[in-house]
Amino acid sequence: MAPTKKKSKKTKKIRKKSKKNNRVSVVPLDPEAIDCEWWDTFWFRNSSPSGVSIPSDEDDAFKYFFRVSKTTFSYICSLVREDLISRPPSGLINIEGRLLSVEKQVAIALRRLASGESQVSVGAAFGVGQSTVSQVTWRFIEALEERAKHHLRWPDSDRTEEIKSKFEEMYGLPNCCGAIDSTHIIMTLPAVQASDDWCDPEKNYSMFLQGVFDHEMRFLNMVTGWPGGMSFTRLLKFSGFFKLCETGQVLNGNGKTLSETAEVREYVVGGFGYPLLPWLITPHDSENLSDSMLKFNERHEKAREIGSRAFGQLKGSWRILSKVMWRPDRRKLPSIILVCCLLHNIVIDCGDYLREDVALSGHHDEGYAEQWCNQIDPMGRATRENLTEYLQLCQG
């Protein structure tokens, strides 16, 4: 058998030149340009899917697909535009050889977070590949996590007074600053990563999300990243919110006089799974409740339902959180959760309406039994008793 002939340097040079000429020429992206055509293309491609009822009005349809109005969408694009343009494109090119516009990148990411559908399905809806959806979504998450921090922060004193006024007006609870609750983000884990810490009481692998909410269901504080196998009490005590409250950095505003002998400090309300603390008020839990205790529990329940409704809205709007995540990167999952919380707040802050029809139809932790905590701080008990007596006197 004759030996293989070596390719000459001239042949290699010709082939290299030919390969270079066959590459798709990339059309540069104007940083200031606003892409107004992506929606028309998307709407044409997805306006009539089989077996799915989509609003016929385009504005309603836009909100159906992306959970935000066109105005709020433009604002989100303005937040991340600089980051999405400044980073190398890394192959984010469509079939026409154009770099994906900022608007299309944001739309892809929002659709992935809003629908919870696979990257393949989302890619098909936009005419891009699975890897593009993955890369675009993560670029968006990193950018919004950095650029939208101002949408999730503890309120200043003026805003706190407004929140307290609304809680008293709506629920009769004086000096209440919010409601606290927690939920599980369910996932599957490879056997090598699965451990008892991540296995919660319902035998699901999950990650906790704890939130403190104002009267408009806005996140005032959140913590995530902790294993679902923890109790609410342990999660609370590991959170930065607990440290801020215990050191008097938040919930440290003016007290409210209830009577000649009683004054109540600022506090939040929480369910039976939380300890009764001076700044965290839980319901009366004994079997033989007086009329005044029952009335207090009724008001308390209505106020703390804000947290449950907020989580139902969060998981319903950003359904990537309500579906079982398939082997997520546990280092990246907290960022995904945080960005969904930021988007939830942005919708509220922009005066956009929260679509009630997308909220979860059941409880945000469907199938989970309510946790109970018997920890009672004497000062917390005294505060609850003062509030109970105050509500009884107010109702005559």
Least confident of 185-199, 310-324, 331-345, 351-365: 185-199
In terms of Cα–Cα distance, which of 226, 216, 223, 239 is closest to 313?
A: 216
In a domain, 356, yes or no: yes
Q: Which residue has the higher pLDDT, 59 or 36?
A: 59
Contact 280, 274 (CB under 8 A): yes
Q: Higher-confidence residue: 11 or 148?
A: 148
Same domain, 384 and 251: yes
Q: Is 166 buried (19+), middle (13-18) or exposed (0-12) by CB count in 10 A?
A: middle
200 and 300 both lie in a single domain: yes
- Residue where a domain stops, chosen among 147, 164, 190: 147
167 in any annotated domain: yes
Q: Does residue 12 form part of some domain?
A: no
231 class by beta-carbon count within 10 Å (0-12 exposed, 13-18 middle, 19+ buried): middle
Q: DSSP state, 11?
A: H
* Tokens 């890897």 found at: 131
pLDDT in tens, 230-270: 999 999 999 999 999 999 999 999 999 998 889 999 999 99
Give the residue from 43, 41, 69, 68 showing the smallest Cα distance to 54.
Answer: 43
pLDDT at 7: 52
Bridge partners, 206 (sequence order):
186
Lowest mean pLDDT across 44-48, 76-80, 271-275: 44-48
Look at residue 14 and tell me if it is in a domain: no
Q: Is the dihedral of CA 277, 281, 282, 286 positive or negative?
A: positive
> Are 177 and 209 within 8 A, CB to CB?
no
Average pLDDT over residues 316-337: 88
DSSP label of 176: E
Residue, of 4 and 322, whose pLDDT is higher: 322
Q: Is the same domain home to 113 and 237?
A: no
Q: Which of 112, 147, 182 is the last residue of a domain?
A: 147
142 and 161 inside one domain: no
CA–CA dist 389, 259 (Å, integer): 10
Domain of 166? Answer: 154-394
121 and 247 assigned to the same domain: no
Give domain status of residue 30, yes or no.
yes
Residue indicated by tokens 């008293």: 168
Q: Which residues pair with 248 in a beta bridge?
A: none
CA 351 and chain centroid, separation: 17
AA letter at 235: L
Q: Which residue has the higher pLDDT, 246 or 195?
A: 246
User: Directed axis angle between helix 333-349 and helix 291-317, to 10°?
Assistant: 110
Q: Report yes or no: 178 and 220 within 8 Å, Cβ to Cβ.
A: yes
Same domain, residue pair 266 and 190: yes
**Contact in structure between 342 and 151 (CB atoms under 8 Å):** yes
105 and 254 housed in the same domain: no
Note the Cα 12 to chain centre separation in Å.
54
Pair 235, 382 in one domain: yes
Give me the number of domains the chain comprises: 2
Question: Do 197 and 296 reside in the same domain of the chain?
Answer: yes
**Burial group, residue 264, by CB count within 10 angstroms (0-12, 13-18, 19+):** buried
**pLDDT above 60: residue 1:** no
371 and 237: one domain? yes
Give Cβ neighbours of residue 342 (< 8 Å, ≥ 6 apart). 144, 145, 148, 151, 152
Please report the pLDDT score of residue 356 as a whole number.
76
Shortest CA distance to 226 belongs to which of 198, 252, 195, 202?
198
**299 located within any domain:** yes
Query: Residue 145 — very low, low, confident or very high, per pLDDT cuts 50/70/90?
Result: very high
Gap between the Cα atoms of 102 and 105, Å rounded: 5
Radius of gyration, CA atoms only, the chain = 26
Q: Which of 94, 115, 147 is the last residue of a domain?
A: 147
**pLDDT in the model for residue 46:** 87
Query: Do the domain assignments include residue 13?
Result: no
Tell me: do 223 and 321 sit in the same domain.
yes
Position 345 pLDDT exceeds 50: yes
pLDDT in tens, 15-43: 554 444 444 344 444 555 677 789 998 98
Burial state string for 64-80 with b = 16 or more CB within 10 A and e = fewer than 16 = bbbbbbeebbebbbebb
- Work out the angle between the directed axes of helices 119-126 and 130-147 (0-180°, nearest 10): 90
Let me know if residue 74 belongs to a domain: yes
Residues 207 and 293 in one domain: yes
Residue type present at position 265 = R
Burial (0-12, 13-18, 19+ Cβ within 10 Å), 158 = exposed
Residue 104: pLDDT over 80: yes
CA distance 333 to 140: 14
Burial class (CB in 10 A: 0-12, 13-18, 19+), 212: buried
